[in-house]
């Protein structure tokens, strides 16, 4: 567990350096052990952060989300 917390701290530091931030981190029941909600300046930052994990130790699922009002504006175009 401590290794996971240390790894998370390293990723959060890299996210901050890249101009992003964590909205919240959660330990969960079910299919996923943990969920981290982040905001980043672009998709490249997220890709780099996702690739930081040692192979085989972390599996990621990325879901890109849009604020509701912005999503509606995109749909109306």
Q: Percent of the chain having pLDDT more than 90? A: 57
Q: How confident is the model at residue 45 (pLDDT cuts 50, 70, 90)?
A: very high
Domain boundaries, the chain: 2-76
Given a cut of 80, whether residue 8 has pLDDT beyond it is: yes
Helix 43-50 / helix 2-17 crossing angle, nearest 10 deg: 150
Mean pLDDT, residues 17-27 taken together: 94
How confident is the prediction for the chain on average, in pLDDT?
88
pTM as predicted: 0.76
């Amino acid at each position: 567990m401590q290794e996971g917390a240390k790894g998370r701290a390293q990723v959060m530091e890299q996210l901050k350096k890249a101009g992003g931030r964590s909205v919240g981190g959660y330990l969960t029941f079910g299919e996923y052990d943990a969920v981290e909600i982040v905001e980043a300046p672009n998709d490249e930052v997220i890709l780099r952060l996702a690739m930081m994990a040692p192979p085989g130790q972390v599996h990621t699922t990325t879901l890109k989300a849009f604020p509701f009002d912005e999503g509606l504006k995109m749909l109306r175009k």
